[in-house]
Amino acid sequence: MTRRDFLGKVGWGAIVVAVGALAGALARFFEPNVTTPAPGPVEIGAPGDYPVGSLTFVERARAYLGRDERGLYALTAICTHLGCTPRLESDTLVCPCHGSRFTRQGQVVSGRAPRALERAFVGRGANGRLFIDRGRPVDASYRLPVPVDS
């Protein structure tokens, strides 16, 4: 093998490695930088921990637990655009990835999100403690009724 052949093969090898690395980086760019806990019942506390009018982020469930006059409801904290976690800013949920905005009820106000935030089941266990089960989607009208004094 001549020196010219050797350097040619090394050069082509470097090009192949560079193109492979670029393709890997490009493929990684299209995957959101989020982790999603397994959907299953996650115990979140007692009803008294969530006053009427509150919207609380529950990190272990990756959901927002809201309470209104009709009861408790859960919004999954997963943007319907790319799966990022929206943050509560004043009275709006804002996705940090591409700026989608949602109401406290999970409806899209603006941005790239194609649909409202999904709802998850809120229940009460035998021990009286609340849980969120993201594996059981519910419609927007679902509420877990809770007496006002709880």
Q: What is the CATH number of the domain that holds 88?
A: 2.102.10.10
- In this prediction, residue 148 has a pLDDT band, given cuts at 50, 70 and 90, of low
* Residue range(s) defining the domain that contains residue 90: 41-138
Pick the range with the lowest mean pLDDT from 37-46, 112-121, 124-133, 139-148.
37-46
pTM: 0.73
- The residues, ordered by sequence, that sit 6+ positions from 148 with a Cβ below 8 Å of its Cβ are 52
- In this prediction, residue 27 has a pLDDT band, given cuts at 50, 70 and 90, of confident
Is the four-CA dihedral 125, 127, 128, 132 of positive or negative sign? negative
In terms of DSSP bridges, do strands 63-68 and 71-76 run parallel, antiparallel, or are they unpaired? antiparallel
99 to 22, 79, 89, 111, 130: CA distances (angstroms): 27, 10, 12, 6, 31
- Whether the pLDDT of residue 31 is over 80: the answer is no
- The residues, ordered by sequence, that sit 6+ positions from 109 with a Cβ below 8 Å of its Cβ are 92, 101, 102, 103
- Residue 128 within any structural domain of the chain: yes
